[in-house]
Amino acid sequence: SVKFVKRGERRKHPAPPFTTSNLQQEASRKLGFTTAKTMQIAQQLYEGVDLAGEGTQGIVTYIRTDSVTVSEEALGAVREFIGEQYGETYLPETPNIFKGRSNAQNAHEAIRPTDVRRTPESIKASLTKEQFQLYRLIYSRFVSSQMTNALYDTMTMEIGGDGVGLRFYGEHRRFAGFTA
């Protein structure tokens, strides 16, 4: 028999842009890169990549940082980009501001693309496979950090009989938000 059914809503918030340690962890988890390999490729992206028609360009900001802050100029550019690419429903009323660690030096801003209009796909031909993978990771995290929350409808149900109890939890995405 069904003992109870509870319906609800869950909001999932976007993650802040990368710090050095977060980048290393995500690159290891999602790409299988070692810390040394991540930093070597990130250094290449920071120092500059030969982009077709543009020459050598640094495509990410300084990679040794413990800060999650982003410059006003970068915030304006990414918010404009999100509005154009995804629509106003994916753009929060005010920029998402993230709180870093209390002992963070905040000497540099978070790791982000130097130009949000330089999408990973638009420069893929100029990058090695590993550079592309890491740049896409940095790019996606930065853009999604300034998008709206994702919304999920949730349901918890408890059923039981003959001394057996089962609990079911499920969720369905109602609005993609930053997961888009």
Return d(Cα 11, Cα 14) in angstroms, integer.
Answer: 10
Question: Of 62, 90, 152, 169, which one is the catalytic site residue?
Answer: 62
Q: What is the pLDDT of residue 125?
A: 93
Mean pLDDT of 114-141: 96
Q: What is the pLDDT of residue 52?
A: 83
Residue 44 φ then ψ, to 5°: -60, -45
Residue 100 has pLDDT above 80, yes or no: no
Q: What is the pLDDT of residue 101?
A: 72
41-72: per-residue pLDDT in tens? Answer: 999 999 999 998 888 999 999 999 888 999 99
Judged by DSSP in three states, 121 sits in helix
CA distances from 85 to 55, 119, 149, 180 (A): 26, 11, 17, 11
pLDDT band at 81 (very low <50, low <70, confident <90, very high): very high
Residue 16 has pLDDT above 80, yes or no: yes
Residue 86 has pLDDT above 90, yes or no: yes
Return d(Cα 45, Cα 59) in angstroms, integer.
Answer: 6
Return d(Cα 62, Cα 113) in angstroms, integer.
Answer: 10
Is residue 139 part of the annotated active site? The answer reads no
User: Pick from 31, 63, 68: which is nearest to 48 by CA?
Assistant: 63
Q: What is the pLDDT of residue 129?
A: 97
Residue 105 has pLDDT above 70, yes or no: no
